[in-house]
Amino acid sequence: MSPERRREMIVRTALPLVAEHGTAVTTGQIARAAGIGEATIFRVFADKNELLDACVAEALRPDHVLAEIAGIPLDGPLRDRLAEVGAAVEAYLDRMGMILGALRATGRREPPTPPTPGEDDAPPDGEGRPSLPDRDTAMNRTRDAIAELFEPDRDRLRLPPAQLASLFMGLLFARSRPHTGPDAPSIEEYLDVFLHGALKERSTE
């Protein structure tokens, strides 16, 4: 197995453990879960902090959610397409929140290696520390992927697909914030208002 593939395998194994234990996770726990010797971790990571940096970078990468969006069939109803996007984005935000939240809760305050602008899939830098995904690039890629799902209904849309994709993303990110109480809207209610507006019927004025 190449060093890069080994890094990827270790990070994938570490992610759920980091979400559960935060900075308290040990390299021994990760090694046992991966079925490797602890020394193997230190052949590809300088220390545990570098491994945690790699876990943060992986949690922030949009690749997985973009692949899910790309796999949504375009021949179904627009509402169904958007519901699938909502589920994919919310799952991504939940995973990211679990990792970052667990690390913050266990005392990790310093930011990882600064992002490399425009290189959301950047390899580790010269010191072997992973670069974080560039936020603007990731957001633009996600918007473009969602815009493609509006294209089959372009003739019915009030706004261009890219603009609607931006609005829909804003809705999803707003929904990701905790809502409490009996009036917390469901994704179906969000979709209904997004697609049909807040008014029961169009005004005749």
Structure tokens at 22: 């935060």
pLDDT by residue (tens digit) across 159-174?
A: 999 999 999 999 888 8
Question: Scanning the structure block, which residue is given the tokens 């179904």?
Answer: 76
166 belongs to a structural domain = yes
pLDDT at residue 146, rounded to an integer: 96
Rounded Cα–Cα distance for residues 164 and 122 (Å): 29
| HSE value, Cβ hemisphere, 13 Å, CA-based, for 123 | 6
pLDDT at residue 203, rounded to an integer: 53
pLDDT band of 78, cuts 50, 70, 90: very high
2 belongs to a structural domain = no
141, 120 Cβ separation under 8 angstroms? yes
Of 35-39, 51-55, 95-99, 177-181, minimum mean pLDDT range:
177-181
144 belongs to a structural domain = yes
Residue-wise burial string across 166-178, b where 16 or more C-beta atoms lie within 10 A, e elsewhere: bebbebbeebeee
Range of the domain at 132: 60-196
31 belongs to a structural domain = no
119 belongs to a structural domain = yes
76 belongs to a structural domain = yes
pLDDT at residue 123 is higher than 60: no
Report the candidate in 81, 103, 95 with the shortest Cα–Cα distance to residue 164.
81
Structural domain count of the chain? 1
pLDDT at residue 104 is higher than 80: yes
Q: The pTM is what?
A: 0.75
41 belongs to a structural domain = no
Report the candidate in 192, 186, 197, 15 with the shortest Cα–Cα distance to residue 90.
186
Higher pLDDT, 186 or 109: 186
156 belongs to a structural domain = yes
